[in-house]
Amino acid sequence: MDFCSYAFKYCLTEEEQKGIDIDMICELLDTVLGCEYPTQVELFTQYLKIQSDYKVLTMGPWMPFYWFYDSMSFQDPSKYKLELAWPLIG
């Protein structure tokens, strides 16, 4: 979890910057969580790229991504329901 927080803060390039654009968030998700949860991260980043409500994400919604992936059991793909996979952003 500390690494997720560090990775987000590392991507903040301006002194007063609080959010990271969606394209960078998708890359960051892939880098930070993609090795452990490749299918889920790919599906979620596809969703983030087509949605139009958010242009940037702040640390507030960023950290629950890790908690969501860490708390879900993805071991049995037959129990995974794609239509329920998207956590709320906001």
| pTM summary value | 0.73
Residue 63 placed within a domain = yes
- Is 15 contained in some domain? yes
CATH label of the domain that carries residue 46: 1.10.238.200
pLDDT tens sequence across 4-52: 889 999 999 898 999 999 999 999 999 998 988 888 889 889 999 999 9
- 51-80 pLDDT, tens per residue? 999 999 999 888 888 788 777 766 555 665
**Is the residue at 80 inside a domain?**
no
Task: Identify whether 62 is part of a domain.
Answer: yes
The beta-carbon contacts of 51-58 under 8 Å, at least 24 apart in sequence, are 53/89, 54/22, 54/89, 54/90, 55/21, 55/22, 56/19, 56/20, 56/21, 56/22, 56/25, 57/19, 57/20, 57/22, 57/25, 57/89, 58/18, 58/19
Question: What is the predicted pLDDT for the residue at 73?
Answer: 62
pLDDT band at 3 (very low <50, low <70, confident <90, very high): confident
Within a domain: 76: no
Residue 12 belongs to what domain range? 2-70
Total domains present in the chain: 1
